[in-house]
Amino acid sequence: MFNRTRPETEHNITVRGGTDKTRYYASARYLYREGLFAAKAQDIFNSISLRAKVDADIASWLNYASNVSLERTDYDWGGFWEMDGSTGYVSQGILWNVTQNVGPNYVPYNPDGTIAMYPGFMADATSPMMSGRAGAFLDGRSHNSNINNYWTWTNRLTAHIFKGLDFITDVTYRRRDRRANFRSLPTANSYDNINKRMYVGNGMTGGLFTNGSVYDFTREYRYFQDGLVANAYFSYNQNFGAGHHVAATLGANFDDYLGSSITIQQKGSLSDVLSYINMANGEIEKASQAISSYRTLGFFGRVNYDWKGRYLLEVSGRYDGSSRFPKGHRWGFFPSASAGWRLSEESFWEPLKAYVSNAKIRVSYGTLGNQQVDNYYYWEELKTGLLSGYTFDGLNNAGYAYADAPVSSNLTWETVISKNIGIDLGFLRDRLTLNADFFIRDTKNMLTAGKTLPYVYGEAAPKENAADLRTKGYELAISWKDHPVVAGQPMYYGITATLGDFVTHITRFDNPSNLLSENYVGKRLGDIWGYQTDGVFATDEEAAAYEQSIDSFSTVNKGIKGQVAPWNHLMAGDLIYKDLNGDSKINTGDNTLDKPGDRTVIGNSRPRYNYAFKGDFSWFGFDLSVFFQGVGKMDWMPNYNCIYFWGPYSYHRPTFVPTDFSEKCWSAEPGADNSNIIYPRQRGRIATQANLVTSDFYLQSAAYLRLKNLTVGYTLPIKTKVLDKARIYFSGENLFYLSPLKKATKYIDPEVATTSISDDCTYPYSKTFSVGIDVTF
Partner 1 sequence: MKKIIIPFVLLASAMAMSSCEDFLTKSPQASLSPDTYFSSEKELDLWANKFYSDILPNPGDLAELNADDNGSSSSLSAVQKGTRTPSSKSWSADTWKPLRNINYMLENNKCTDVNVRNRYDGVCYFFRALFYFEKVRQYGDIPWYDHVIGSSDTEDLNKPRDPRGYVMLMVMKDLDKAYDLLPARWPSDAVYHVSKDAALALKSRAALFEGTFRKYHKGSVYVPVDEQTFDGVNISSEYFLQQAAEAAGKIVGTRKLYKGNTMKLADAAKDASYREYFILEDAETDETIFARRYNVDLKVRHGLQFDFKNQHRSASLRQVNHYLQSDGTPIQNRAGWQTLSYFDVFQDRDPRLAQTIQGPGYLMADIDEATKLHKTEQLSWERTFNGFRIIKYISDTGHEGATTSTTDYPLIRYAEVLLNYAEAKAELGQLTDEDIARTINVIRDRVGMPAMASVPSTPDALMESYYPHAAGAQKAAILEIRRERAVELFCEGFRQWDMLRWGEGALLTPKATGGFQGIYIAADQVGVDLDLDKDGKADLYLYTGSKGSTKAPATNQIQLGSGFTLSEGTSGYLTYWAAEDYVWNEDRDYLWPIPADQRTLTEFALTQNPGWDDGLSQ
Instruction: Among 107, 290, 354, 775, indicate the residue that binds partner 1 (CB under 8 A).
Output: 290
589 is an interface residue for partner 1 by CB under 8 A:
yes
Give 153 or 299: the residue with its C-beta nearer to partner 1.
Answer: 299
591 near partner 1, judged by CB under 8 A = yes
Alpha helices in 571-712 (DSSP H): 643-646
CB of residue 292 to partner 1, shortest distance in Å:
8
Residue choice 58, 270, 352, 460 for contact with partner 1 (CB under 8 A): 460
Q: Could you give the CA distance from residue 284 to residue 273 in angstroms, rounded to a whole number?
A: 20
Query: What 8-state DSSP symbol labels residue 743?
Result: G
Cβ proximity of 409 and 463 under 8 Å:
no
C-alpha–C-alpha distance, residues 408 and 450, integer Å: 9
Q: Which of residues 305-344 bind partner 1 (CB under 8 A)?
A: 321-323, 327-328, 330-331
> Which residue, 365 or 379, has its beta carbon nearer to partner 1?
379
Q: Compute the distance between CA of residue 96 and CA of residue 640 in angstroms, rounded to an integer.
A: 12
Is 399 a binding residue for partner 1 by CB under 8 A? The answer is yes
Binding flag, residue 406, partner 1 (CB under 8 A): yes
- Provide, rounded to whole angstroms, the least separation between the CB of residue 330 and partner 1: 6
Q: What beta strand segments (E) does 94-209 contain? A: 117-119, 126-128, 143-162, 165-184, 187-189, 207-209
Contacts with partner 1 in 103-162 (CB under 8 A)? 159, 161
Q: Which is nearer to partner 1, 398 or 428 (CB)?
A: 398
Identify the DSSP state of 192. Answer: B
Please identify, using beta-carbon distances, which residue of 232 and 313 lies nearer to partner 1. Answer: 232
**Cβ(647)–Cβ(517) under 8 Å?**
no
d(C-alpha 305, C-alpha 10), whole Å: 46
Neighbours of 603 (CB within 10 A): 20
Question: By CB under 8 A, is residue 299 in contact with partner 1?
Answer: yes
Q: How near is the Cβ of 574 to partner 1 at its closest, in Å?
A: 21
**Residue 79 · residue 142 · CB < 8 Å:** yes
14/517 with CB nearer partner 1: 517
Residue closer to partner 1 by CB (options 9, 293) is 293
Among 149, 169, 210, 213, binds partner 1 (CB under 8 A): 169
Q: Is 587 in the site for partner 1 (CB under 8 A)?
A: yes
- Identity of the residue, 592 or 731, whose beta carbon is nearer to partner 1 in the bound complex: 592
One character per residue 60-99, x = contact with partner 1 (rule: CB under 8 A): -x--------------------------------------
Helix or strand (DSSP H, E) at 54? strand 44-59
Please identify which residue in 13, 123, 291, 757 interacts with partner 1, judged by CB under 8 A: 291
Figure out which of the listed residues 240, 333, 365, 400 binds partner 1, where binding follows CB under 8 A.
400
Nearer to partner 1, 278 or 372 (CB): 372
**Quick check: 685 binds partner 1 (CB under 8 A)?**
no
H or E stretch including 417? strand 414-427
Total residues contacting partner 1 by CB under 8 A comes to 77
CA dihedral 596, 599, 600, 601 (to 10 degrees): -110
Q: CB neighbours of 289 closer than 8 A, spacing ≥ 6?
A: 260, 261, 262, 263
Sign of the CA dihedral running 367, 372, 376, 377: negative
Rounded-to-integer distance, Cα 129 and Cα 118, Å: 7
Residue 588 touches partner 1, criterion: CB under 8 A: yes
**381 touching partner 1, by CB under 8 A:** yes
Nearer to partner 1, 6 or 329 (CB): 329
Buried b (16+ CB within 10 A) or exposed e, 461-482: bbbbbbbbbbbebebebebeee
User: Interface with partner 1 includes 194 (CB under 8 A)?
Assistant: no
Whether the CB-CB separation of 335 and 317 falls below 8 Å is answered with yes
Q: Give the one residue of 242, 347, 350, 393 binding partner 1; rule: CB under 8 A.
A: 393
For 556-576, letters b (16+ CB in 10 Å) and e give bbebbeeeeeeeebbbbbbbb
In angstroms, give the least distance from the CB of 639 to partner 1.
19
CB count in 10 Å sphere of residue 429: 12
| Cα 106 to Cα 640: distance, rounded to the nearest angstrom | 24
**Residue number with CB closer to partner 1 (581 or 731):** 581
With contacts defined by CB under 8 A, name the span among 173-181, 459-467, 696-704, 733-741 that binds partner 1: 459-467
Judged by CB under 8 A, does residue 455 bind partner 1? yes
Give the contact letters, 359-378, x = binds to partner 1 (CB under 8 A), - = no: ----------------xx--
| Window 549 to 568, contacts with partner 1 (CB under 8 A) | 554-555
Q: Which of 379, 492, 622, 765 binds partner 1 (CB under 8 A)?
A: 379
Rule CB under 8 A: say whether 448 interacts with partner 1. no
Smallest distance from partner 1 to CB 185, Å: 21
Nearer to partner 1 by C-beta: 48 or 232?
A: 232
Measured CA to CA, the distance from residue 761 to residue 748 in angstroms comes to 7
Work out whether strand 311-322 and strand 284-307 pair parallel, antiparallel, or are unpaired: antiparallel
Shortest gap between Cβ of 391 and partner 1 (angstroms)?
5
Least separation in angstroms between residue 183's CB and partner 1 is 23
How far apart are the C-alpha atoms of 734 and 767, rounded to whole Å? Answer: 5
Output the CA–CA distances (angstroms, integers) from residue 348 to 223, 433, 562, in the order listed. Answer: 65, 21, 79
Q: Is 552:537 a contact under the CB 8 Å cutoff?
A: no
Answer for which of 194, 242, 456, 487 binds partner 1 (CB under 8 A) is 456
Stretch that binds partner 1, among 9-17, 285-293, 340-348, 570-578 (CB under 8 A): 285-293
The CA-based diameter of the chain, rounded to the nearest angstrom, is 100
CB 142 within 8 A of CB 80: yes
Interface with partner 1 includes 380 (CB under 8 A)? Answer: yes
Among 194, 401, 485, 564, binds partner 1 (CB under 8 A): 401
For the chain, count helices (H), then strands (E): 6, 34
The least distance separating partner 1 from the CB of residue 371, rounded to whole angstroms, comes to 11
Task: Determine how many CB atoms are found less than 10 A away from the CB of residue 431.
Answer: 14
**3-state DSSP assignment of residue 737:** strand
Q: Single out the residue of 91, 293, 489, 539 in contact with partner 1 (rule: CB under 8 A).
A: 293
Encoded one letter per residue, x for contact with partner 1 by CB under 8 A and - for no contact, window 195-234 reads -------------------------------------x--
Pairing, β 117-119 against β 126-128 = antiparallel
In the complex with partner 1, which residue's Cβ is closer, 399 or 740?
A: 399
Nearer to partner 1, 317 or 366 (CB): 317
Cross-strand partners of 421? 363, 438
Q: Give kind and range of the element (H or E) at residue 382.
A: strand 382-386
Q: Which stretch binds partner 1 (CB under 8 A): 100-108, 301-309, 584-592, 666-674?
A: 584-592
Q: Of 109, 333, 365, 457, which one interacts with partner 1 (CB under 8 A)? A: 457
453 binds partner 1 (CB under 8 A): yes
Residue 289 interacts with partner 1 (CB under 8 A)? yes
Sign of torsion, CA 375 381 385 387?
Answer: positive
Here's the x/- map for partner 1, 241-260, by CB under 8 A: it reads as: -----------x--------
Cβ–Cβ under 8 Å, residues 463 and 448 = yes
Write down the least CB distance from residue 255 to partner 1, Å: 11
Q: Which of 7, 17, 120, 454 binds partner 1 (CB under 8 A)?
A: 454
Residue 513 near partner 1 by CB under 8 A: yes
Amino acid at 42: Q
Peptide bond into 566 cis (omega under 30): yes
Q: How far apart, in whole angstroms, are the C-alpha atoms of residue 759 and residue 755? A: 8
Look up residue 446 and give its amino acid: M
